[in-house]
């Protein structure tokens, strides 16, 4: 099967209005997939959809929804119930707050956990069930270097991204035998509009449009992800992170997952 046959006919990209999510939608459309674009800003999504249709002549659908809201997963299911989703990209959950945990309203932490963990779980359960039955499909779950350890001002964010990484690894173990590719994509510093805005607000740049020096570009992140789509469960999207983790940890994440899965199978009497 070619790419569109294996992963199509439709891809759903959460967080598709700009940055890496938008770039991922464009890359999948260039490979022949129709795309569902999901984010909060409807006008921006329609601009992205128009551009993708014009350049790649694929079908598009816009879902202007807030992933931090209750029952949003059910709303997504209803809005795409007529489509066969073969590729799910969950690229939502950046931390625009970046403040100490105790100085922030607890609702901010709860919304982040709902968006980064609960809705992700709900969407994967729904769409991966169909993918497993068809014995084909793909899921890319965006993590962060923040998920490797906790840090000040990112207490809930780091914890949620640790969940995303381990969730992707476990999902990979269950779905790989069923023909579904799962990749946990761990981002380092990436030159996105949200990071540019955060740096500007913190006085680290002169403009919200100023590029972040030495950061990965969204294009390089997406191309690296697609090149390693079948080599999960975890891919460090940042070259500096890959080298740094080799020095810190003698066993790679993927090797660790393999050992854990084999040990689990023995304990459960399947090895």
Cis amide prior to 92 (ω within 30 degrees): no
Q: From the CB of residue 141, how many other CB atoms can be counted at a distance below 10 Å?
A: 27
pTM for the whole structure = 0.91
Rounded to whole angstroms, how far apart are CA atoms 248 and 243?
9
Backbone angles phi, psi at 187, to 5 degrees: -85, 140
Q: Are 219 and 23 in contact (CB under 8 A)?
A: yes
Place of tokens 């923040």: 146
Question: Burial letters for 229-252: b for 16+ Cβ neighbours within 10 Å, e otherwise?
Answer: beebbbbbbbeebeeebeeeeeee
Between CA 29 and CA 56 the distance in angstroms is: 6
Tens-digit pLDDT profile for the chain (271 aa)? 899 999 999 999 999 999 999 999 999 999 999 999 999 999 999 999 999 999 999 999 999 999 999 999 999 999 999 999 999 999 987 777 789 999 999 999 999 999 999 999 999 999 999 999 999 999 999 999 899 889 999 999 999 999 999 999 999 999 999 999 999 999 988 877 777 777 777 788 888 888 788 888 999 999 999 999 999 999 998 888 888 877 777 788 888 899 888 898 887 776 5
| Length of the chain, in residues | 271
Residue pair 88/139 in contact (Cβ under 8 Å)? The answer is yes
The answer to whether 89 and 21 have CB atoms below 8 angstroms apart is yes
Q: What is the three-class DSSP state of 186?
A: strand
The whole-angstrom separation of Cα 238 and Cα 261 is: 26
Distance of CA 87 to the CA centre of its chain: 12
- pLDDT of 229: 97
CA distance 234 to 89: 14
């Amino acid at each position: 099967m070619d790419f569109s046959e294996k992963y199509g006919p439709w891809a759903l990209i959460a967080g598709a209005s700009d940055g890496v999510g938008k770039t991922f939608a464009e890359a999948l459309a260039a490979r022949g997939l129709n795309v569902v674009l999901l984010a909060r800003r409807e006008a921006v999504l329609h601009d992205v959809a128009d551009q993708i249709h014009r350049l790649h002549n694929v079908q598009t659908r816009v879902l202007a929804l807030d992933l931090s809201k209750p029952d949003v997963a059910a709303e997504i299911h209803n809005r795409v119930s007529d489509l066969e989703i073969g590729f799910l990209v969950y690229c939502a959950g950046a931390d625009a707050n970046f403040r100490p945990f105790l100085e922030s309203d607890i609702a901010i932490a709860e919304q982040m956990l709902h968006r980064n963990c609960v809705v992700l779980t709900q969407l994967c359960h729904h769409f991966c069930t169909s993918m497993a039955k068809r014995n084909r499909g793909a899921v890319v779950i965006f993590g962060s270097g923040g998920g490797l350890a906790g840090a000040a001002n990112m207490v809930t964010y780091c914890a949620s991204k640790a969940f995303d990484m381990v969730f992707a690894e476990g999902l990979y173990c269950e779905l790989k035998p069923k023909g579904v590719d799962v990749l946990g994509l761990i981002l380092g510093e990436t030159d996105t509009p949200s990071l540019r805005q955060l740096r500007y607000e913190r006085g680290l740049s002169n403009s919200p449009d100023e590029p972040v020096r030495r950061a990965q570009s969204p294009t390089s992140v997406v191309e690296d992800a697609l090149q390693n789509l079948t080599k999960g469960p975890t891919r460090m999207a940042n070259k500096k992170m890959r080298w740094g983790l080799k020095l810190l940890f003698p066993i790679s994440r993927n090797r660790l997952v393999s050992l854990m899965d084999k040990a689990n199978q023995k304990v459960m009497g399947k090895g």
